[in-house]
Amino acid sequence: MMLRVSVIIPSYNHEAFVAESVQSVLDQTGVEVEVIVCDDASTDRSVSILQGIRDPRLKLLVHRQNLGASSAARHALAAATGDYVARLGSDDVCLPGRLALQAAFLQAHPEVGSVLGQPEFIDDQSQPMAPPPLFDGLFARENRPREAWLQRFFAHGNCFCMPTSMFRRAEAILVDPPRDTFRHLPDFEYWVRYCLKAEVHILPDKVTGFRLRTDNGNLSAPGPEKEAEKVMEELAVLRHFIEPEGLLAMGLPPDAAGRLDLAERAMTTGRPAHRLFALLTAVEADFTRHDDAAREALVLRANALLRGSDAIEMLERARLQAGNAALRRSRDKGREKRVRLEAELARWRESWAGRLLGRWMGPHRNEESTNKEGRP
């Protein structure tokens, strides 16, 4: 009896690619396949194209309003019936043999909850291409226990490629799909939560054609608000590590002293989100369960962290760098774009984060914050 695999595809405005994506799943051999596409209120011809695919193995779900890729993935997962669930983007393709290879691995290794493979980067014409510097070597990692993956995540961020992943359906149901509130780091936040519960293995084989769009459709252009949002999302991800299972995975005791140890470790990275994490963790620390001598020593360490933290200034500096970079780009692309970006900066200054940073930075800014050219 063949293994049963459900492939879930959240889809939005990919009329040029979604049929190829679905067909690459239907053409898989060696497993019993169903493909579940959840269209997230596309405004192009995606839905009519999908409705034209006459194959009973295709299930099509359609949102009446745009809810985000995470909601689409959640609804598709709820409709899955296979023993295993694979993820795929609606502009990506399954390479031949992918599903049979990954399902066989999970069948042979019951201790592993999810298996990933390597992406083959493809262009708009589905031709192989060299990876850009951002992705070069990012996903080719040696396997390790989930605790070691979490330690790597804490220090360096995500290195898992979601469209190459396959899960046991029972494991996938236990861990909610990427959350709607994360606009920039949904996969990173998901993999941290997943590795707190289950083991992951990466195969060396290329299993997914991962499309890099010539119009940068995969990547968001950097901007001051986006940079601030990314820092806040990274901070939210790091907060998972102060839970008892997170501290244990980091090799630390699941108590206030362990959280302080983690805060000190975060401070050494030099990254704004980590420094904010260290500051908040030190402020929240409750050492009342320790004896007097230990409590005094821990309080002194926490106070040293708070005095030495320049996290807010680092966040402001990152915001200024992003804004200046955007303005430099605009000078190359005409006055109209520059005006738009300057308006974006003005909106940022009026946002809650901009006002907060403005109030904080007002009395603390000094000559070291800005050089003679006005660049941080």
Q: Kindly state the average pLDDT of the residues 102-122.
A: 95
Q: Are 30 and 97 contacting, i.e. CB atoms less than 8 angstroms apart?
A: yes
Q: Among 210, 186, 202, 225, which residue's Cα sits nearest to residue 89?
A: 210
**What is the pLDDT confidence band of residue 370, given thresholds at 50, 70 and 90?**
very low
Q: Among 277, 250, 261, 265, which residue's Cα sits nearest to residue 151?
A: 250
CA angle, 79 then 68 then 182, to 5°: 115
**What is the pLDDT confidence band of residue 137, given thresholds at 50, 70 and 90?**
confident
**What is the pLDDT confidence band of residue 236, given thresholds at 50, 70 and 90?**
very high
Q: Left, alpha or beta for 220 (phi > 0: left; psi -120 to 50: alpha)? A: beta
- Is residue 104 scored above 90 in pLDDT? yes
Give a yes or no: residue 374 inside a domain: no
Q: Which long-range contacts (CB under 8 A, 24 or more apart) does 293-302 make?
A: 294/257, 298/256, 298/257, 298/260, 301/260, 301/264, 302/260, 302/263
Q: How many domains does the structure of the chain reveal?
A: 2
- Is residue 289 scored above 90 in pLDDT? no
Same domain as 226, residue 87: no
**What is the pLDDT confidence band of residue 282, given thresholds at 50, 70 and 90?**
confident
Residue 95 vs residue 309, higher pLDDT: 95
Give a yes or no: residue 114 inside a domain: yes
Q: Kindly state the average pLDDT of the residues 230-256.
A: 93
Give a yes or no: residue 370 inside a domain: no
Same domain as 186, residue 238: no
Same domain as 284, residue 198: no
CATH number at residue 143: 3.90.550.10
Query: What is the number of other CB atoms lying within 10 angstroms of the CB of residue 358?
Result: 13
**What element of type H or E holds 120?**
strand 114-122
Same domain as 255, residue 114: no
Same domain as 27, residue 90: yes
Range of weakest confidence among 114-128, 281-295, 314-328, 352-366: 352-366
Please state, in angstroms and rounded to a whole number, the distance separating the CA atoms of residues 87 and 94. 10
Same domain as 46, residue 27: yes
Same domain as 176, residue 145: yes
Structural domain boundaries, residue 261: 221-364
Give a yes or no: residue 373 inside a domain: no
Indicate the length of the chain as a whole number.
376
Q: What is the pLDDT of residue 253?
A: 94
Whole-model pTM? 0.76
Q: What is the pLDDT of residue 365?
A: 43
- Is residue 373 scored above 70 in pLDDT? no
Q: Kindly state the average pLDDT of the residues 311-326.
A: 59
**What is the pLDDT confidence band of residue 332, given thresholds at 50, 70 and 90?**
low
What pLDDT, in 10s, does the model give residues 62-102? 999 998 888 899 999 999 999 999 999 999 999 999 999 99
Same domain as 168, residue 105: yes
Please state, in angstroms and rounded to a whole number, the distance separating the CA atoms of residues 186 and 178. 5
- Is residue 371 scored above 50 in pLDDT? no
**What is the pLDDT confidence band of residue 294, given thresholds at 50, 70 and 90?**
confident
- Is residue 324 scored above 80 in pLDDT? no
Same domain as 207, residue 60: yes
- Is residue 369 scored above 70 in pLDDT? no
What pLDDT, in 10s, does the model give residues 15-54? 999 999 999 999 999 999 999 999 999 999 999 999 999 9
Residues whose CB falls within 8 Å of the CB of residue 57, separated by 6 or more in sequence, listed in order: 26, 33, 34, 35
The β-bridge partners of 114 are 167, 200
Give a yes or no: residue 372 inside a domain: no
Of 120-129, 225-234, 264-273, 361-370, where does the model show the most confidence?
A: 120-129
Residue 156 vs residue 376, higher pLDDT: 156
| Mean pLDDT over the full length of the chain | 83
What pLDDT, in 10s, does the model give residues 245-270? 999 999 999 998 899 899 888 888 87
